[in-house]
């Protein structure tokens, strides 16, 4: 192996050479590469060389990343690569690589266009370029008896704008608790469970980016993080794609969509704002039937004093109605980042802790609202609620 001073590339921690202080981190990445490169959609590891100051890692050479192919539209070599790619095959290979890593109990935690490389095809029977997952600097392996561990580099993992919302809540901490039935990372101080689904979320963003020629489903780089936290995404750029656009839109929505039961109450509240209140429409009348059983005679008695004081600063709520309790949940969810640290501590983190705060105080609310929508003549068939009811009669 020939060692030179030339910088070969950049990874999640900087250049492809690693200082002695980070040898432990480098050995960790090399070990993961050795254990996981026996798959056609994972970058191939060949060799490592250590000098007095640096460690060098030799990997499979690839002509471009997915980001290169999407963003460098004038390069003729990249144009040829772009023409050889087939959208469905690209997604299939990305998911195949992620699925393989997950089968080894590895969470990549940094899926993004720059970490998806385009390699040469293998064999004459398969002419498609190989799509390879690379950069395992933030990858985490879970032992059979672990549900959490310390993070290297003091980071929650992921790249700004490409990481799942749960990665932004708080830095993961170590815990001595084990959960043999679940394969998860746990942030115990926030009661936030982080699973392999964070890779699926990132892959959904990457696929939309690829299909739309560089557009992100959560907006520009300055607003992505807050939009991801709020679940505000737009997939309308897929509407003009004739070949598979509808299917791709549905698939990506499912990949980046947060747990439906955690969004259902908010979406019902948004929808009910369009209903006539004076006199109340049929659906609002149905919503308030059995309200006492669902939320009590006066739901304000079940909320923390500090939350009630905050509510009085903005608008008047009818504390006997289900609709206004749904409004509270929706408004606090939409403006969560604007809440004081004290109120965030009371209600918990979005989505799990926040939802848990209200569900624990109103255990009958979710099913009450669900049955109201299910029993409606037309509301459950609306596009907004198809993920919950599937348009069934």
Distance, in Å, from the CA atom of 381 to the CA atom of 98, rounded to the nearest integer, reads 34
Q: What are the φ/ψ torsions at residue 28 (nearest 5 degrees)?
A: -60, -45
Q: Give 166's Cβ-side CA count (13 Å radius).
A: 27
- 105 and 221 Cβ atoms separated by less than 8 Å: no
Read off the DSSP letter of residue 302.
G
Neighbours of 96 (CB within 10 A): 15
Per-residue CA distances from 163 to 176, 205, 228 (Å): 26, 9, 8
| Cβ-contact 119, 30 below 8 angstroms | no
Cα gap 335→230, rounded to integer Å = 9
CA-to-CA distance for 110 and 136, rounded, in angstroms?
8
37: helix, coil or strand? Answer: coil
How many whole angstroms from its chain centre is CA 236? 19
Active site (annotated) includes residue 37: no
Q: Are 311 and 328 in contact (CB under 8 A)?
A: yes
- Write the DSSP string, 77-107: HHHHHHHH--HHHHHHHHHHHHHHHHHTTEE
Catalytic residue among 110, 135, 199, 310: 110
Structure tokens at 329: 């949940």
The count of residues in the chain is: 393
d(CA 122, CA 11): 26
Q: Which of 180, 174, 68 is nearest to 119 (CA)?
A: 68
Residues assigned a catalytic role: 110
């Amino acid at each position: 192996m020939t060692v030179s001073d030339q910088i070969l590339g950049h990874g999640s921690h900087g250049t492809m050479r690693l200082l002695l202080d980070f040898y432990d981190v480098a050995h960790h990445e090399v070990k993961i590469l050795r254990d996981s490169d026996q798959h056609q959609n994972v970058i191939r590891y060949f060799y490592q060389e250590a000098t007095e100051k640096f460690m060098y890692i030799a990997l499979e050479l690839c002509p471009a990343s997915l980001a290169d192919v999407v963003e460098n539209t004038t390069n003729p070599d990249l144009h040829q690569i772009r023409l050889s790619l087939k959208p469905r095959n690209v997604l299939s290979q990305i998911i195949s690589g992620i699925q393989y890593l997950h089968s080894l109990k590895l969470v990549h935690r940094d899926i993004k266009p720059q970490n998806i490389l385009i390699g040469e095809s293998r064999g004459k029977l398969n002419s498609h370029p190989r799509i390879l997952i690379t950069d395992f600097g933030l990858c985490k392996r879970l032992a059979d008896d672990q549900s959490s561990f310390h993070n290297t580099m003091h980071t929650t993992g992921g790249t700004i704008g490409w990481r799942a919302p749960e990665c932004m809540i708080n830095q993961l901490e170590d815990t001595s608790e084990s959960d043999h039935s679940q394969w998860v990372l746990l942030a115990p101080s926030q009661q936030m469970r982080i699973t392999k689904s964070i890779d699926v979320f990132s892959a959904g963003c990457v696929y939309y980016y690829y299909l739309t020629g560089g557009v992100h489903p959560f907006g520009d780089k300055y607003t992505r993080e807050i939009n991801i936290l709020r679940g505000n995404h737009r997939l309308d750029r897929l509407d003009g794609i004739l070949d598979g656009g509808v299917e791709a839109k549905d698939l990506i929505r499912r990949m980046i969509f947060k747990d439906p039961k955690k969004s259902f109450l908010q979406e019902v509240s948004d929808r009910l704002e369009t209903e006539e209140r004076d006199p109340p429409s049929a659906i609002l009348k149905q919503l308030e039937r059995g309200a006492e059983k669902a939320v009590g005679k006066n739901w304000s008695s079940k909320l923390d004093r500090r939350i009630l004081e905050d509510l009085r600063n903005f608008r008047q709520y009818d504390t006997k109605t289900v609709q206004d309790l749904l409004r509270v949940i929706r408004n606090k969810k939409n403006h969560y980042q604007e809440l004081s640290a004290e109120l965030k501590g009371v209600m918990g983190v979005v989505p799990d802790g926040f939802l848990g705060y209200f569900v624990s105080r109103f255990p009958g609310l979710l099913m009450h609202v669900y049955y109201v929508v299910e029993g409606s003549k037309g509301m459950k068939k609306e596009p907004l609620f198809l993920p919950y009811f599937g348009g069934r009669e």
